[in-house]
Amino acid sequence: MTELIHDIDKLRGRVTEYRRGGRSIGLVPTMGALHEGHLSLIRHARNENDRVVVTIFVNPTQYDDPSDLKRYPRTLAADFEKAEESGADLVFHPEAEAIYADDYRFKVIETDFSRELEGAHRDGHFDGVLTVVLKLLNIIQADRAYFGEKDWQQLRLVRDMAAAFFHPTEIISCPTIREADGLALSSRNVHLTPDERTLAPEFHRVLSSRSTAREMEQQLVDAGFAVDYVEQCGDRILGAVRIGKLRLIDNVQL
Amino acid sequence: MTELIHDIDKLRGRVTEYRRGGRSIGLVPTMGALHEGHLSLIRHARNENDRVVVTIFVNPTQYDDPSDLKRYPRTLAADFEKAEESGADLVFHPEAEAIYADDYRFKVIETDFSRELEGAHRDGHFDGVLTVVLKLLNIIQADRAYFGEKDWQQLRLVRDMAAAFFHPTEIISCPTIREADGLALSSRNVHLTPDERTLAPEFHRVLSSRSTAREMEQQLVDAGFAVDYVEQCGDRILGAVRIGKLRLIDNVQL
C-alpha cells in the first residue's frame, strides 16, 4: 500500500520510523507529470533500498518564467498510481508554503557552473533547484537519491553540492529514457503539436551526429529549431532548443 | 581520552560509530582560542549528549579583512586541553582545503537579516558563517549544536537556516559569559591594551542602561568608542563598537 503524505512533520515522523527499523531509504525527487524516465528512477531506487520515497513538488523558485510554472502539468492522481505501480512506498506532495516557510530567504547558490548553459538562459534556475533539493534531502534523510542524466547540468550541480556540503545522501544518476525515435522523455513533451512532435527527434539525432558543436547548431537551425546553446562540456554535448513556445534540452555522451 | 582528528573521512567514520551505538551527539563549533564562553557550551553539550564533538576551525570565508583573519589567535594545544577538561570526547580540527574542496563554489546565503547589522559592516560575513556551519552540521550529524548568545545575529541566522533547510540537528543557544566587570568574553579580547581593557566594559554598561539606541550611541561615542551600530532588534539591543584596531560586539535583552 503506497502512502500519500502532504505534511512535512508527518513525513519526517514516517522517515524516522523507517530509519529506526534500520531500513535504507531511496529518494526520487520529481515535479510530477511522471513518465517512463521518472519510473525508471523509481525502479532503480526500488532495487537498491528497503523503502522508496517519491516526492512530487513543482518547485516555484526554479522558474524565471511564471507562465512556464503555470503551464507545468499537474496530474497527482495519475502520478500516484504510476509511482505505486513502480514500487514507491510513499509519495510526498508538500505545499510550497511549507517548503518555503522562510519565504526563500535562505538559498544555496553556486557561483560558477550554475551560471553557464541552462543557468545563462534561466535566471536563478539553479539557485531554486539546489535549494529545494537540499531541503528535500534533509527532510527525507535518504541513503540514496536518484536523478536522471537528461538534466545533466542539474545532476552535476546536485552531485557537487552534496559533496561540497558533505551531505550523507549518495547521489545516483540514471540514463535518459527516450522514445523509439530518440526524443528524450520530458513532462513538457505533451505540449508539442503533431508537427512539432515530428520535428523534435531531430534534436537528439543532431546531438548524436559527432559533428562539432558549431556544426550541430547550424544543422539544428536548418532543421527549424531556435537554438539557445550547443556546447561541449567534458565528454558530453549539451543542447537547448526551442520549438514554438516549447523549450527542449538534451545531452549525449561523446 | 579525548581524541584529536584532522581528517574529514576519519571523523565521519567515528561519528558513524557513535550513531551505530545509538548514542546522541552534541556539537560545539568554535574557531579555537577557547575561553570560558566556549567551555560553557561544551559543558552544556556534555550534560545533554552521550558524545561531545568540538570543532576548531578558523573559517576563512567569513572574514572580509585578511589581516583580521591572520591576527585571529591560534592556540590548538591549549584549546585541546581545555576542551578535554570540559568534557569533549573529540576535537575536530580540519584543514581549510578539505572543508572548501569546492573552492567555495557552493554557498548558503540569506537575503534579508544577514545584510543588516554585522552583515552591513562585514561584507559576505554571514555567507561564510552559514556555509561553514551547514558543512559542519552535515559532517558531524549531531543531535544538538550549541551556539552562544554573544553572537546573537549569528545564532538567529543559524537557527533560521536549520529550520529553512529542515536540518535534523537542533540548534541550542547558551547565555553570554562575561568578566566580573561585564565585558563579554571574546577571543579577540587578548588584543586589548591595558587602557582599552579599562574602557571596554563601558560597552556592556551602556547597552544595559535602558536608554534609547540613539542615546546609547552618543554615550558610547562620549566614552571614547567608535560606534558601528546600536540597534534594537525585537527584545534585544545589539551593538558593535571599535576601540583602536579592535572591534567588539555585544547584545543584551531589554
Confidence of residue A26 (pLDDT cuts 50, 70, 90): very high
Which parts of chain B have pLDDT scores under 70?
none
Q: How many Å separate Cα A236 from the centre of its chain?
A: 18
pLDDT of residue B64: 87
Give the ipTM: 0.96
- C-alpha to C-alpha distance for A149 and A177, rounded to whole angstroms: 9
Total domains in chain A come to 2
Is there a catalytic annotation at residue A38? yes
CB-closest option in B106, B110, B139 to A110:
B106
pLDDT of residue B95: 97
B123 & B214 share domain: no
Q: Are A135 and A107 in contact (CB under 8 A)?
A: no
B56 & B106 share domain: yes
A26 & A137 share domain: yes
Cβ of B134 within 8 Å of Cβ of A161? The answer is no
- C-alpha to C-alpha distance for A92 and A56, rounded to whole angstroms: 6
Q: Which of A139, A174, A209 represents a domain boundary (last residue)? A: A174
A236 CA: distance to closest CA in chain B (Å): 22
Specify if A248 maps to a domain.
Answer: yes
pLDDT of residue A62: 96
Q: What is the mean pLDDT of residues A25-50?
A: 98
On the question of pLDDT at A217 being above 90, the answer is yes
A16 CA: distance to closest CA in chain B (Å): 11
pLDDT of residue B71: 86
pLDDT of residue A209: 96
Q: Which residues of B are catalytic?
A: 38
Chain B residues inside the 8 Å CB shell of A135: 164-166
B208 & B168 share domain: no
Q: Which of A151, A174, A197 represents a domain boundary (last residue)? A: A174
- C-alpha to C-alpha distance for A112 and A114, rounded to whole angstroms: 6
B250 CA: distance to closest CA in chain A (Å): 25
Chain B residues inside the 8 Å CB shell of A101: 163-164
Averaged pLDDT of chain A: 97
Interface test with A, best of B138, B143, B153, B157 (most A CBs within 10 A): B138
B128 & B237 share domain: no
B76 & B160 share domain: yes
Confidence of residue A93 (pLDDT cuts 50, 70, 90): very high
Specify if B101 maps to a domain.
Answer: yes
The single residue listed with the C-alpha cell 544543422 is A219
B170 & B221 share domain: no
> Looking at chain B, which residue has its C-alpha nearest residue A167?
B138
- C-alpha to C-alpha distance for A200 and A4, rounded to whole angstroms: 35
Q: How many Å separate Cα B6 from the centre of its chain?
A: 20
A17 & A111 share domain: yes
Interface test with A, best of B166, B170, B171 (most A CBs within 10 A): B166
- C-alpha to C-alpha distance for A166 and B8, rounded to whole angstroms: 9
Cβ of B107 within 8 Å of Cβ of A106? The answer is no
What's the CATH number where B161 sits?
3.40.50.620
- C-alpha to C-alpha distance for B89 and B95, rounded to whole angstroms: 20
Specify if B112 maps to a domain.
Answer: yes
Specify if B179 maps to a domain.
Answer: no
Q: Which of A125, A145, A174 represents a domain boundary (last residue)? A: A174
Q: CA of B236: how far to CAs of A11, A55, A105, B6, B9, in Å?
A: 36, 40, 22, 38, 41
Specify if B148 maps to a domain.
Answer: yes
HEC-encoded secondary structure of chain A: CCEEECCHHHHHHHHHHHHHCCCCEEEEEECCCCCHHHHHHHHHHHHHCCEEEEEECCCHHHCCCHHHHHHCCCCHHHHHHHHHHHCCCEEECCCHHHHCCCCCCEEEEECCHHHCCHHHHCCCHHHHHHHHHHHHHHHHCCCEEEEECCCHHHHHHHHHHHHHCCCCCEEEEECCCECCCCCECCHHHHHCCHHHHHHCHHHHHHHCCCCCHHHHHHHHHHHCCEEEEEEEECCEEEEEEEECCEEEEEEEEC
B164 & B196 share domain: no
Q: Are A223 and A209 in contact (CB under 8 A)?
A: no
B121 & B213 share domain: no
Chain A residues inside the 8 Å CB shell of B166: 8, 12, 135, 138-139
Confidence of residue A21 (pLDDT cuts 50, 70, 90): confident
For residue A197, give its domain range: 187-253
Specify if B48 maps to a domain.
Answer: yes
Confidence of residue A232 (pLDDT cuts 50, 70, 90): very high
Rounded to 10°, the helix B8-20/B125-140 angle is 50
Specify if A210 maps to a domain.
Answer: yes
**From chain B, which residues contact A within 8 Å (Cβ)?**
8, 12, 101-102, 104-113, 130, 134-135, 138-139, 141, 160-161, 163-168
B208 & B88 share domain: no
pLDDT in tens, A163-192: 999 999 999 999 999 999 999 999 999 999
On the question of pLDDT at A50 being above 90, the answer is yes
pLDDT of residue A191: 92
Specify if A158 maps to a domain.
Answer: yes
B19 & B70 share domain: yes
Confidence of residue A110 (pLDDT cuts 50, 70, 90): very high
Q: What is the mean pLDDT of residues A90-98?
A: 98
